[in-house]
């Protein structure tokens, strides 16, 4: 009989980051679907009603935009949580360390494994591919925030917000381009989500390290010591 291996827990995610993560999940889904509607309002629930009354419809453009803006604000505000985790907890700082040998070794190792050329990859707190993916999704979220607020602020072109952020509209050619970029990046984030969710479940099934529950409990489990365990400072 094969004995069950002994697993060691590593405390990776701080409470702030976990909270941030689940808030992000909700906000991104809300933002994505309301955003799709704003870009292409396919649903006409208001036909045959005077606009004076139709604007109060549950799914009027007005309300859907309201949800979009609200979710945008909440997402941006929740970045404070993430920042807090980042500052106080080492496990929330798993950068892609391009400048180290270990990063590139890990990148090749995991890629070969995902291409079925290696039966297993080494244990990582977070492998190089994931580190790169998360760093770029943060980049995309920030880009969405900046372009989003650049458009939103122009509701009041003389307001303080517009004074601050309007230059973005002109750096990126012009405001219409900002809409387009915002739209495309939203799709890229969605594509990331598909791969991300798959990768997490896959890791759970293959490595049984509690990848999914890790985002709730904060702990991930390993048979062997992860290669990058020093990033936790232990």
Partner 1 sequence: MDQLGTTLRELFEKRNLSRRTFLKTCATLTAILGLAPEMLQDVVAAAERKLLVPVIWLHGHECTGCDETLLRSQTPLASDVLLNMISLEYMDVLAAAAGEPLEEHLQQVMQAYKGRYILAVEGAVPLEADGIYCMVGGKPFVENLRQAAAGAAVILEVGSCAAWGGIQAAKPNPTKSVSVSDVIHGKTIVKIPGCPPIPEVLTGVIMHYTLFGKLPPLDSVGRPKQFYGNRIHDTCYRRPFFDSGMFVEKFDDAGSKAGWCLYKMGCRAPEAYNSCGNMRWWNGLSYPVQSGAPCVACGANNFWDQDPFYERLPGIPVPQTVANADKVGLITAGVLTLGVAAHGAASLIQSKKHAAEEEEKAKEDEK
Contact 153, 105 (CB under 8 A): no
φ, ψ (nearest 5 deg) of residue 65: -65, -40
- The site map against partner 1 for 80-119 (x = CB under 8 A) is ----------------------------------x-x--x
The single residue among 83, 143, 146, 180 that binds partner 1, judged by CB under 8 A, is 180
Beta bridge partners of 220: 10
Per rule CB under 8 A, is residue 154 in the interface with partner 1? yes
The single residue among 22, 43, 98, 138 that binds partner 1, judged by CB under 8 A, is 43
CB neighbourhood size of 27 (10 A): 20
Restricting to residues 62-81, name those near partner 1 by CB under 8 A. 62, 64
The single residue among 67, 137, 140, 190 that binds partner 1, judged by CB under 8 A, is 190
Per rule CB under 8 A, is residue 173 in the interface with partner 1? yes
Nearest to 9 by CA among 218, 207, 215: 218
Smallest gap from Cβ 139 to partner 1, in A, equals 19
CB neighbourhood size of 35 (10 A): 23
Contact 208, 177 (CB under 8 A): no
The single residue among 93, 206, 225, 230 that binds partner 1, judged by CB under 8 A, is 206
Enumerate residues 6+ apart whose C-beta is below 8 A from 22: 215
The single residue among 7, 19, 30, 59 that binds partner 1, judged by CB under 8 A, is 59
Give the gyration radius of the chain's Cα atoms: 22
Whole-angstrom distance, CA of residue 56 vs CA of residue 62: 8
**Contacts to partner 1 by CB under 8 A:** 2, 36, 39-41, 43-47, 49, 51-52, 54-55, 57, 59-62, 64, 114, 116, 119-120, 154-155, 157-158, 166-167, 170, 173-177, 179-180, 183-184, 187, 190-191, 194-195, 198, 201-202, 205-206
């Amino acid at each position: 009989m094969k004995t069950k291996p002994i697993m060691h827990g590593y405390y990776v995610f701080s409470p702030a980051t976990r909270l941030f993560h689940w808030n992000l999940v909700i906000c991104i889904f809300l933002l994505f679907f309301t955003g799709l509607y704003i870009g292409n309002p396919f649903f006409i629930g208001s036909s045959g009603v005077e606009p004076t009354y139709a604007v109060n419809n549950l799914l009027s453009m007005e309300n859907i935009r309201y949800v979009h803006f609200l979710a945008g604000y909440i997402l941006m505000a929740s970045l404070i949580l993430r920042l807090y985790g980042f500052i106080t907890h080492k496990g929330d700082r798993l950068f892609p360390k391009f400048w180290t040998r270990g990063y590139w070794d890990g990148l090749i190792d995991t890629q070969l494994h995902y291409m079925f050329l290696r039966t297993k990859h080494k244990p990582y707190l977070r492998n190089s591919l994931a580190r790169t993916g998360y760093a770029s999704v943060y980049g995309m979220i920030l880009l969405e925030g900046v372009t989003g607020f650049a458009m939103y602020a122009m509701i009041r072109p003389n307001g303080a917000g517009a004074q601050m952020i309007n230059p973005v509209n002109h750096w990126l050619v012009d405001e219409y381009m900002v809409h387009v970029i915002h739209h495309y990046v939203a799709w890229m984030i969605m594509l990331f989500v598909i791969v991300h969710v798959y990768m997490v479940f896959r890791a759970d099934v293959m490595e049984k390290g509690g990848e999914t529950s890790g985002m709730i409990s904060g702990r991930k489990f390993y048979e062997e010591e992860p290669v990058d365990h020093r990033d936790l400072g232990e």
